[in-house]
Amino acid sequence: MLDELIASDFVYHTDTQQIQGLEVMKQVIEEEINGFPDLHVAIEDVIAEGYKVCIRLKETGTHTGKFRGLAPTGKKINYTAITIWRIVNSKVVEGWGVYDMLDFYKQLGVIEYKGTKDFLTKLSNYFDLHFINSKKWGQREISPGWAGFKSQRPPARFFIAKNETATILTIDG
């Protein structure tokens, strides 16, 4: 069925990998099905314009098989993904996917995540960051609940976070 929908030279982009070719995509899908045999994908929104289709979907399943080198955990997953598909001559030729992998691995118990403060502490240790104690971020006031870090290695990277959302600003030079 995938042969009818996806071009043989299909390319799929995510923030962590690029999949090239229909056969490789089939292997990725097979690995996901093997890792989560009860996988259920529900399409929640479809938006189409011109030659592109954007889909918001919800995936649920139980990790009972090996997935990306991870032994079965028996844990259930429930997460949302956003995909965009470019279609040419009635076949998908390119796709982009955005997945919340932090939440995904948290649900599997692979990582422990206790919120922004814990996340920023681990981030600061990893990137050799120093917490900015000042209530001012440049000329901008930082409200309560916000945190800021500055990298000590060039290029300068500033991390600003509130609750569970982080923004990274990189300044070269």
**pLDDT single digits (tens) 105-142:** 888 888 766 655 566 555 555 544 444 444 444 434 44
Q: Assign 96 to helix, strand or coil.
A: strand
Angstrom distance (rounded) from CA 11 to CA 4 = 16
Calculate Rg over the CA atoms of the chain.
Answer: 20
Q: Assign 155 to helix, strand or coil.
A: coil
Beta 40-49 vs 146-151: how paired, if at all?
unpaired
* pLDDT tens by residue, 34-70: 999 999 999 999 999 999 999 999 999 999 999 888 8
| 73 and 18 share one domain | yes
Q: What's the whole-model pTM score?
A: 0.63
- Please report which confidence band the pLDDT of residue 17 belongs to, taking 50, 70 and 90 as the band edges: confident
| 120 and 95 share one domain | no
| 44 and 102 share one domain | yes
| 55 and 123 share one domain | no
Q: In CATH, what number is assigned to the domain containing residue 22?
A: 3.10.450.50
Total number of domains in the chain: 2
Which residues form the domain of 132?
116-171
In this structure, are residues 129 and 149 in contact, taking their beta carbons and an 8 Å threshold?
Answer: yes
